Each structure stands twice: as structure tokens, then as C-alpha cells.
Amino acid sequence: MDKNNLGLPIGTTLDRFITRKQDDFPYATGELSQLLRDIALASKIVNREVNKSGLLDITGGIGGKNVQGEEQQKLDVIANIRFIRALKNGGQTCAVVSEEDEEIVHLNPESRYIVAIDPLDGSSNIDVNVSIGTIFSIYRRLSPIGQPVEHSDILQKGKEQIAAGYVLYGSSTMLVYTTGNGVNGFTLEPSLGEFVLSHAGMKSPKDGSIYSINEGSWNQFDQPIRNYIEHCKEEDYTARYIGSLVADFHRNLLKGGVYLYPATSRAVNGKLRLIYECNALAFIAEQAGGKASDGQTRILDLTPTKFHQRTPFIIGSENLVNEAEGFVKGKSKVNSEAS
């Protein structure tokens, strides 16, 4: 029986795992444990609705647009409601910043934790039954307890996260998270309605041969990115791009690979959001031995200035990210140019 870094066997329930991790931190008050349980609960509810989306009238757009100007899918809105309701009812969250809400959602001012969340990323894939995901980050508030949170509580660097995770609604539903001591993955056992430990101590391969980028945007890429894509082809890497960040990230985490969403002529700061997408996955990637940058700077060192700001994003196996950064920084050339 496999053991993870806590000596807990594969098959341990998420609830017991969280409790055991708390036991390892004598000063833990149980608030973070409860917060993680709140997120897991909401994930199970969203999973149920994602799995029925083809049967109920909840697929497709609602005609509204989120703060990104993207058409809101019904499940986007439902997922956002479910997570915020679970966090509100759990009482351990003072505020939420969500892709689906322009402003801070204030909850329990007596709580010390802030949640940044993309409730349902990749939602354009909902109607075509492609895997989608939830991405979340947890921070401690900086301002005193008992009052509404301030912008500075939200605009913390990613390296200040105390936990981060994602839920992948795929062929099976997985919750993968870190609290800064490694990465562990839990698979939902539908007959039990429980997440159980299935991937203990997840490690990102240092190398790989998968690259994930939307090559349809070739004409929008700058030359260094084009050079890197040509390099991947010369190295006979495999192109895999699902168009759902969580699914692409999860595959690359397991098999080794690199995902890129660079700045383009249309998205001059990239498309992905720093606070509730890139920081969370960067924390997980680094905890698993991988790497994440904007091509120049470590993602977790970036200082956010706006809740919904975007950033160029390169994430995955350490050596592949280093290789891609070499091209972005102009230090590497494709063989044809180098010769």
C-alpha cells in the first residue's frame, strides 16, 4: 500500500487527511481545515450539476457577460453561487474574489481567510462535454479581523498563499491541493460521495515532451514564441491543447509538459488571470517540483495591482519552462537561425 508524506494510505478520505494534517500543526485552530471542507463540499455539488448539464436546461449562455467580457455560461453562474454559499455557510471566509464578480464579495468579517476563485474555468467547453475545472487560492487577511477586508488583503503576492488547489471535472472528478507541504490528489468516489486519496505526494517530472499552446494564434504571437514552437516541433514534442487550463495543467503535471498562454497582439497581457488562476496553479506546480513564470518573472513573485489582471503564463516541468523562458528572453534560437 502506497504511503504519502503523512503515512496515510491511498484510499484515505479527504476529511480524514485534512484532520490528520491539522493534527500535525499543533497551533492549527481548525479554521483552515473547515475552509478546505467547505470547498470540497461545494465541489461535490458543482460536480453533480456539471455531470447533469446535458440533461438539465443549464448549459449554454445566459446572455450575461462576466468582468472579462466573456459570455457567462449558466454553469459559471451556478458554480459561483455554490462556492460562495458554501464559504458563507462555513463561516471561515472573510472575503471572496471571483472571476464572476467584479468586486470583492464580503462574507464573515470575523474570519481570517480570503479565497480567490475561478469557479468554473474552461466553461466554453461545457456544451461539448470537455473537462472543466475550478481553481482556488487561500490567503490570510492582512487587515485586522472584525472589519471589511481591504484591497491590500486581496492584492497579495502569490507566494503569500497558504493553500491552493483545483478541481477537475473530467472522466473522474479530482481535487488536488497543497498547503505548502507537497501536493496530494483526491478522486471522488461517487458511490460514497467522498473524495479519497488517489495521488499521494504528486511530483512533476523535471522533463517532458508535451507542449500546450493554441497554435491557432500563431499570427498573434511574437517571434520568440514562434521560435519556441518551431523548437518544439524540431524536438518532436507532442502537441496537446484541450483549451481547458485545468485539464491541460493536470495532464502535464502527471506526464511532464509545458503550458503556455503568452501575450498576444490581441491579449497584450495574456488571457489568464493572475490572482485566481495563475497564482494557484503556480503554487501547486512549485510544490510538485515544477515552475511557473510570465516568461521573465516567477509568477508567485508578481505584485497584483488589480483583482482581475491578466498575465502571460508559462507553467509545467522545470526544465521545459526554463527552455521556453530561454526563447522568450531571446537567449535561444531555433536550429535554423542558430546555424
Distance CA 269, CA 262 (A): 8
Among 108, 214, 309, 332, binds ligand P6P (CB under 6 A): 214
Stretch that binds ligand P6P, among 143-151, 152-160, 193-201, 243-251 (CB under 6 A): 243-251
Out of 44, 141, 250, 271, name the contact with ligand P6P by CB under 6 A.
Answer: 271
Site for ligand P6P in 104-133 (CB under 6 A): 121-122, 124
Nearer to ligand P6P, 22 or 125 (CB): 125
Q: Which is nearer to ligand P6P, 66 or 93 (CB)?
A: 66
Q: Report d(CA 61, CA 114) in Å as an integer.
A: 29
Residues 9-45: b if buried by 16+ CB within 10 A, e if exposed: eeebbbbebbeebbeeeeeeeebbbbbbbbbbbbbbb
Residue 145 CB-half CA count within 13 A: 8
* DSSP for 135-158, written as a single string: EEEEEE-SSPTTS---HHHHS--G
**What's the rounded Cα separation, in Å, for the pair 165 and 172?**
16
Is residue 244 a contact point for ligand P6P (CB under 6 A)? Answer: yes
Q: What angle do CA 269, 273, 275 make, to 5 degrees?
A: 125
In Å, how far from its chain's centre is CA 188?
A: 18
In the complex, the smallest distance separating the C-beta of residue 248 from ligand P6P, rounded to whole angstroms, is 6
The distance of closest approach from Cβ of residue 261 to ligand P6P in the complex, given in angstroms and rounded to an integer, is 6
Q: Does 291 participate in binding ligand P6P (rule CB under 6 A)? A: no
How big is the chain by its Cα radius of gyration, in Å?
20
With b for 16 or more beta-carbon neighbours within 10 A and e for fewer, the 310-325 pattern comes to: bbbbbbbbbbbbebbb
Nearer to ligand P6P, 179 or 244 (CB): 244
In angstroms, give the least distance from the CB of 60 to ligand P6P: 16
Q: Is 61 one of the binding residues for ligand P6P (CB under 6 A)? A: no
Q: Is 100 in the site for ligand P6P (CB under 6 A)?
A: no
Q: By CB under 6 A, is residue 182 in contact with ligand P6P?
A: no
CB of 219 to ligand P6P, least distance (A): 13
> Is the Cβ–Cβ distance between 283 and 178 less than 8 Å?
yes
Stretch that binds ligand P6P, among 53-61, 137-145, 229-237, 244-252 (CB under 6 A): 244-252
Contact 22, 33 (CB under 8 A): yes
Segment interacting with ligand P6P, rule: CB under 6 A, options 46-54, 106-114, 147-155, 242-250:
242-250
Residue 121 beta carbon to ligand P6P: minimum distance, rounded to whole angstroms: 5
- Signed CA dihedral, 259, 116, 311, 321: sign only: negative
Position 243 contacts ligand P6P (CB under 6 A): yes
CB of 280 to ligand P6P, least distance (A): 13
Binding positions for ligand P6P, rule: CB under 6 A: 121-122, 124, 214, 243-245, 248, 271
